[in-house]
Chains A and B, each alone.
Chain A
Amino acid sequence: MKTFIFERSELDRLVEILKRRDYKVIGPIVRDSAIIYDELTNINDLPIGWTDEQTNGMYRLKNRDDAAVFGWTVGPQSWKKFLFPPIQKIFATHKSPKGLDLQNSKKQTSQESAQTKYAFFGVRPCDLNAISIQDKVFLGGPFIDPVYERKRTGNFIVTVNCGQAGGTCFCASMGTGPKAGTGFDLSLTEVLNDKHHYFIVEVGTELGSDVLKSIKCIKATDENLTTVNEICSKTVKQMGRLLDTSNLKSILYQNSEHPRWERTAARCLTCANCTMVCPTCFCATIEDVTDLAGKQADRMRKWDSCFTLDFSYIHGGSVRASAKARYRQWMTHKLASWVDQFGTFGCVGCGRCITWCPVGIDITEEARAIRENQS
């Protein structure tokens, strides 16, 4: 893999070049007391000098005492915001004398996608893995999701290896970080010491290499590569959480009636926040909206959650009426049945479900409790 280094000032140029190549550059921005992802209109919007403090049910932005650009971990949003938008129109129908006219929204959105080509700037390795998991879900099976496919096509991905771990992170346990493996065009490591602020960049694709030609960079030395490894292994040691994944699938399957589920259900609000912030959760519901005359109907797809009663509602009632059934369904899907379904865990260890749970339920703690006291 080709590796180069470039100065901090060249980072701004990298964003400029992507914009000049007609990408809509999406990156981290400080907004409403959190680091979120949105269009980078100004390079100074990057969270320079910011960091975050995270633990169960708590997130606080803090100032750093340096000017690191990527000195933070993940916030409440993930890239699924762009690839799998929370509310999408699937199609519209119109009542005609002959029956129903189906107006596929494909035409409209394909025009839109011709204009919108996303460059994701500052993707964390856990989130890069989450994208590849959603690729399997939406593009991997016999039925391709056209909305996801359109949004995902032609993405340019710049990952940033993590120089520090967050309070609820456990990517090292899931094997999804803190260093990006594959799936990026360019992968950056930020190095900031007393004298020097620079980036070490690994090139993942030809396109990445081409983009990098417009940046002033020099070939990386072995010493630089060692620096990357040193930074990442330091991050591994800082991981806020650990999740022992050995034999986890069968442990969860064998303990479906473990008393712990009941105890957690007593704490769980079934508010669905964990599933909303999860970068791999892909469930949606379908809502048909009619006009007053009943002549026009739109079919909408909206993010849904296995924590709602409607989600498992079939004739006669909800299959998962209790909070216990719903929490168990979610966690067992993430850490067990996902493996049977898609060949990987449905969890990348980003820690969002721990941080953004209003009562701080911790998936790693739940898994540990069941493992250590198996019934």
Chain B
Amino acid sequence: MSPKNNKIPKTAVKKQRKPKLAVWKFSSCDGCQLSLLDCEDELLAITEHIEIANFLEASREVVKGPYDISLVEGSITTPHDAERIHQVRRQSKVLVTIGACATAGGIQALRNFKDVKQFIVAVYANPKYIETLNKSTPIADHVFVDFELRGCPINKHQLIEVINAYLNGRKPNTPAYAVCIECKRRFITCELVAHGPTCLGPVTQAGCNALCPSYSRGCFGCYGPKETPNTSALSTYWTSLGVKDDELVRLFRGFNAYAEAFRKESEAHEK
């Protein structure tokens, strides 16, 4: 140590602790947590600023909680899930749900419109071993959620944005407006207008950067209802163009079937 330049030796500086991140899985396909691994180029940069402390998909080495930020994937479908999510919440300072399952119940929420016991009897040879809840529900139905990231699967750029915003103490730029705005900013010709129905873009939240329309496919609604979604106006218009009720039910019963606006719209067209 040289007293002349008044420099503090590096070892004397208390190293700032990196925030600890955990990834949790409930009923889901793992696609959303894979988005974190899919960050590839950005992954090393992320680990410079955040400690990936509990992420079984990447490593069996688990650092004990509590965790600064938890990413929760999947919906609640079993009594065990319903217990475990409370344990996760207790260990997490910030809880972020990722994907359609965690934010709306996912594709498995299609069971919510039927009697789940009939499915169990039809699918399993020994239904008595199956312990499941009647409904597949989003995480926010069970515990307080700090932030919901939409998508089926989530967009890795949005995931990085959420982590980035957390690290920098700012609000994430994840707009709640329609896919149409992303579509038009990319100069994609409107599927609905140039090819005819059906595209869920006008009632679906942006975030995918208009992925399907960029391949000349209508939007499937993977990001769930946008802010103030006028689903009934879209259905009424499509009905006037000859779209049948059963088609409308199928359209709104995708990965976000149990999200309120889509659920109500599909129920309105169910005979």
Binding site for B on A (CB under 8 A): 31-34, 36, 57-61, 75-77, 81, 86-87, 266-273, 276-277, 287-294, 302-305, 307-310, 321, 323, 355-356, 358-360
* B residues in contact with A310, CB < 8 Å: 175-177
Task: Give Cα A333–Cα B249 distance, bound, in whole angstroms.
Answer: 37
Known: A59-B194, A355-B193, A358-B202. A303 touches B181 (CB 8 A): yes
1/0 per residue, CB under 8 A from A, across B2-19: the answer is 000000000000000000
With both beta carbons as reference points, the residue of chain B lying nearest to A81 in the complex is identified as B187
With both beta carbons as reference points, the residue of chain B lying nearest to A269 in the complex is identified as B202
* A residues in contact with B228, CB < 8 Å: 270, 309, 321, 323
* A residues in contact with B49, CB < 8 Å: 292-293
Asked if B178 and A269 sit within 8 Å, CB to CB, the answer is yes
Contact of A273 among B46, B180, B186, B187 (CB under 8 A): B180
Asked if B230 and A323 sit within 8 Å, CB to CB, the answer is yes
Q: List 29 A-B contacts (CB under 8 A).
A: A32-B194, A33-B194, A34-B194, A36-B189, A57-B237, A59-B193, A76-B194, A81-B187, A86-B184, A86-B187, A267-B233, A270-B178, A271-B202, A272-B178, A272-B180, A272-B184, A276-B184, A290-B168, A290-B170, A294-B168, A305-B181, A307-B177, A308-B176, A308-B177, A309-B177, A321-B228, A323-B230, A356-B193, A358-B234
Asked if B202 and A292 sit within 8 Å, CB to CB, the answer is no
With both beta carbons as reference points, the residue of chain B lying nearest to A290 in the complex is identified as B168
Q: What is the distance, in angstroms, from A72's C-beta to the closest C-beta of chain B? A: 14
Known: A270-B228, A359-B237. A308 touches B192 (CB 8 A): no
Contact of A36 among B160, B163, B173, B187 (CB under 8 A): B187
Residues of chain B in range 172-221 having any CB-CB distance to chain A below 8 Å: 173, 175-178, 180-181, 184-190, 192-196, 199, 201-203, 216
Asked if B237 and A360 sit within 8 Å, CB to CB, the answer is yes
With both beta carbons as reference points, the residue of chain B lying nearest to A304 in the complex is identified as B181
Asked if A276 and B189 sit within 8 Å, CB to CB, the answer is no
B122 within 8 Å of A (CB atoms): no
With both beta carbons as reference points, the residue of chain A lying nearest to B214 in the complex is identified as A32
Closest 7 CB pairs of A and B: A276-B184, A271-B202, A86-B185, A359-B237, A271-B178, A308-B177, A269-B202
B164 within 8 Å of A (CB atoms): yes
Asked if A359 and B184 sit within 8 Å, CB to CB, the answer is no
Asked if B184 and A273 sit within 8 Å, CB to CB, the answer is yes
Asked if A303 and B185 sit within 8 Å, CB to CB, the answer is yes
With both beta carbons as reference points, the residue of chain B lying nearest to A311 in the complex is identified as B177
Given A76-B193, A272-B177, 20 additional A-B pairs, CB 8 A: A32-B194, A34-B189, A60-B194, A61-B194, A76-B189, A76-B190, A267-B230, A268-B230, A269-B233, A276-B181, A276-B184, A292-B48, A292-B168, A303-B185, A308-B175, A309-B177, A321-B228, A323-B230, A358-B192, A358-B237
1/0 per residue, CB under 8 A from A, across B93-129: the answer is 0000000000000000000000000000000000000
* B residues in contact with A291, CB < 8 Å: 164
Contact of B190 among A266, A269, A273 (CB under 8 A): A273
Asked if A87 and B193 sit within 8 Å, CB to CB, the answer is no
Q: What is the distance, in angstroms, from B45's C-beta to the closest C-beta of chain A? A: 6
Asked if B181 and A272 sit within 8 Å, CB to CB, the answer is yes
Task: Give Cα A266–Cα B165 distance, bound, in whole angstroms.
Answer: 36
Asked if B234 and A269 sit within 8 Å, CB to CB, the answer is yes
Residues of chain B in range 22-63 having any CB-CB distance to chain A below 8 Å: 45-46, 48-49
Which of A34, A273, A291 has the most chain B CB atoms inside 10 A of its CB? Answer: A273
Known: A58-B193, A356-B190. A270 touches B230 (CB 8 A): yes
Task: Give Cα A245–Cα B202 distance, bound, in whole angstroms.
Answer: 30
Asked if B233 and A294 sit within 8 Å, CB to CB, the answer is no
Q: What is the distance, in angstroms, from A272's C-beta to the closest C-beta of chain B? A: 5
Asked if A289 and B173 sit within 8 Å, CB to CB, the answer is yes
Q: What is the distance, in angstroms, from B7's C-beta to the closest C-beta of chain A? A: 14
* B residues in contact with A76, CB < 8 Å: 184, 187, 189-190, 193-194
Asked if A33 and B175 sit within 8 Å, CB to CB, the answer is no
Asked if B181 and A33 sit within 8 Å, CB to CB, the answer is no
Known: A272-B178, A309-B228, A359-B234. A33 touches B195 (CB 8 A): yes
* A residues in contact with B227, CB < 8 Å: 308-309
Task: Give Cα A272–Cα B173 distance, bound, in whole angstroms.
Answer: 18
B167 within 8 Å of A (CB atoms): yes
Q: What is the distance, in angstroms, from B236's C-beta to the closest C-beta of chain A? A: 8
With both beta carbons as reference points, the residue of chain B lying nearest to A310 in the complex is identified as B175
With both beta carbons as reference points, the residue of chain B lying nearest to A75 in the complex is identified as B189
* B residues in contact with A358, CB < 8 Å: 180, 190, 192-193, 199, 201-202, 234, 237
Q: What is the distance, in angstroms, from A76's C-beta to the closest C-beta of chain B? A: 6
Q: What is the distance, in angstroms, from B118's C-beta to the closest C-beta of chain A? A: 36
Q: What is the distance, in angstroms, from B242's C-beta to the closest C-beta of chain A? A: 13
Q: What is the distance, in angstroms, from B181's C-beta to the closest C-beta of chain A? A: 5
Task: Give Cα A287–Cα B170 distance, bound, in whole angstroms.
Answer: 12
Task: Give Cα A310–Cα B206 distance, bound, in whole angstroms.
Answer: 13
Task: Give Cα A86–Cα B186 distance, bound, in whole angstroms.
Answer: 8
Which of B199, B226, B227, B230 has the most chain A CB atoms inside 10 A of its CB? Answer: B230
Known: A268-B230, A270-B230. A294 touches B167 (CB 8 A): yes
Asked if B230 and A277 sit within 8 Å, CB to CB, the answer is no
Task: Give Cα A60–Cα B189 distance, bound, in whole angstroms.
Answer: 11
Q: What is the distance, in angstroms, from A273's C-beta to the closest C-beta of chain B? A: 5
Which of B45, B234, B237 has the most chain A CB atoms inside 10 A of its CB? Answer: B237
Task: Give Cα A159–Cα B216 distance, bound, in whole angstroms.
Answer: 31
* B residues in contact with A87, CB < 8 Å: 185
Task: Give Cα A293–Cα B188 distance, bound, in whole angstroms.
Answer: 34
